[in-house]
Amino acid sequence: MSAKKIKNLWYLPAFLLLILFLFIGVLCTHETPPPEFTSHSEQTYNEADETADPNEKEPPLPHEHPAFRERAEERKEMIARQIQARDVNDPNVLRAMQIVPRHAFVRAREQSWAYDDHPLPIEFDQTISQPYIVAFMTQALQLKPDSKVLEIGTGSGYQAAVCAEIAKEVYTIEIVEGLAKIAKERLKKLGYKNVFVRAGDGYFGWPEKAPFDAIIGTAAAGRVPPPLIKQLKPGGRMILPVEGRLGFQHLVLITKDEKGNLHRRNVMPVRFVPMTGEVQKSEAEPKK
């Protein structure tokens, strides 16, 4: 073999190596990016996916008010640290807590603390409950898209809004007329068309709209008002704070079976503002 042919053979390995590098480069260029780098426009949100974690996907924003687009990251952190960390994992509840802007339900001077782990003062010397308590009580009701809910103690309207993100209709009663007016205007401004606010004594419930699939109370009574038990649908669930003889309060979960039998259990010690009105007249009677 001539020296010239031997010299030309040295280029063959170099040429093959170059082809190999080019082939690897093409493969890397078309590699599918990992999920964490997928753009938001490529993500889909499936409302039927009951196992979806609202912290992993951006929930839809069904409301036009700008408050729903504000401070979303703070709500994510609130859910992760305060709610999921305490075993509230109903995806419907987590989704609702992510959507509802708690800062829109408190006064301007308290908005900096809206997503902190504690209750806050609102108008007329009342309070908005701790986010975890709102989530816990909502989960206990096991709401469905066709549920009709009665709330006793509207307060700021925050709990009603959270329930309204899941249920079909929410009827809420507030005994402080001025507070009921503020909550009604706030909920209307935020776009909640399925929440109905009434100023009145929650002890009597809302009989013309009964029965209810779920009843939630946000003020403590010494006994469970009998009208509320009557207005609870068979198969329904009720949760509310009840104060015992020594002043200690517990959240009480009441379920009514299909035969109308009641089942009651204490689920958590709490501290709520007292329920006023008719319930105070019967405090001396035996507790149910």
pTM of the full predicted structure? 0.77
% of the chain surpassing 70 pLDDT: 76
Q: What is the pLDDT of residues 108-167, one digit of tens each?
A: 999 999 999 999 999 999 999 999 999 999 999 999 999 999 999 999 999 999 999 999
Question: Is 147 in the active site?
Answer: no
Residue 59's pLDDT is what? 45
Closest CA to 124 of 104, 150, 154: 154
Residue 82 is classified by DSSP as I
Contact of 95 with 59, CB cutoff 8 Å = yes
Residue 14's pLDDT is what? 54
Distance of alpha carbon 131 from alpha carbon 120, whole angstroms: 10
CA 53 to chain centre: 13
% of the chain surpassing 90 pLDDT: 71
Domains observed in the chain: 63-281 (3.40.50.150)
Q: Which of 2, 39, 41, 129 is catalytic?
A: 129
Q: What is the pLDDT of residues 204-229, one digit of tens each?
A: 999 999 999 999 999 999 999 999 99
First-last CA distance in the chain: 109
Which tokens sit at 276?
Answer: 């006023």
How many Cβ atoms are within 10 Å of 186's Cβ, its own excluded?
Answer: 17
